[in-house]
Amino acid sequence: MSRTLILGTLVTLALILLLSEVGRREETRLAAATRLDQARRIEQGAALYAQNCRTCHGVNGEGLGALGPPLHDAHFFTGRLQEVGWSGALHDYVVATIAAGRVTATRPLYAGDGVVVMPPWARANGGPLRTDQIEALAAFVLNWEATALGEVVLSPLPTPTPPVINDSAQVARGRQLFTEAGCTTCHGEDAAGVEAAGPSLLGIGAAASDRVPGVAAAEYLRASVLTPAAWVVAGYAQPGACAAVVSDAQLADLVAYLLTVQ
């Protein structure tokens, strides 16, 4: 009998100790769990972004020409709400935009020809994503803030693109590719341009260097080949896709040629 009582007292004491330990730790656990939940959302959002968004907004949210605006720039985090007259929080704006899509663009660059510029993504609107997936995407997009505002600098991509060395052999390869890949269709033989179809590229190396502030000539040309609609010269139609440039090396060759074409 007394053994039972002693055991019972010990067990009760241990229970009280355990419960107070559980209670003591709970606040810390909740704080950590909240951070972990956010981390989980961002990870999930990153995977969804890679699946659904990067073909228009770019792998790193840099935007792809006329296909999709950049999400990873300071303007998006500081001026976008004012630009569209949204009075709520940026998070709600992002969630609403992903869920409902956009029928017309808010900037002239992006479409305006009557087609839907951004499809709706929420299931309720006929899209493929659940509410929690849209929340995860928003968490991922908003996580660009620190790098967009320059508060955090990421380590540079460790896979370097082949350098534009601009030697005669590379320029010659680029010249050949210019014809073979079909650039001449719009830009004409010898890159002299075709009226209404594509501007002349003669001297583009010098022109490209100061066309877009902060974008170097080689970068401007590289981006324009990948996404012809990135920067459209006034007076020319929205271009369609360019013919295939299949490898990074070919892209470097082509850029080397364009930098030198006079």
Stretch that binds other proteins, among 126-134, 179-187, 198-206, 249-257 (CB under 8 A): 126-134
Q: Which of residues 3-22 bind other proteins (CB under 8 A)?
A: 4-5, 7-8, 11-12, 14-15, 18-19, 21-22
Closest CA to 74 of 83, 65, 66: 83
Which member of 33, 197, 206, 237 binds other proteins (CB under 8 A)?
Answer: 33
Phi, psi of 48 (to 5 degrees): -65, -40
CA 40 from centre of chain: 20
Q: Is 81 helix (H, G, I), strand (E, B) or coil?
A: helix
Q: How many residues bind other proteins (CB under 8 A)?
A: 49
Q: In the complex with other proteins, which residue's Cβ is closer, 57 or 187?
A: 57
Q: At what angle do helices 131-142 and 2-52 cross, to 10 degrees?
A: 80
Helix or strand run (H / E) with residue 24: helix 2-52
Smaller CB separation from other proteins, 90 or 212? 90
Part of the chain binding other proteins (CB under 8 A), chosen from 40-48, 98-106, 185-193, 230-238:
40-48
Q: Is 68 helix (H, G, I), strand (E, B) or coil?
A: strand
The amino acid present at 190, given as its one-letter code, is: D
Residues in contact with other proteins by the rule CB under 8 A: 1-2, 4-5, 7-8, 11-12, 14-15, 18-19, 21-22, 25-26, 29-30, 32-40, 42-43, 46-47, 50, 60, 130-133, 140, 143-144, 146-147, 151-152, 154-155, 157-159
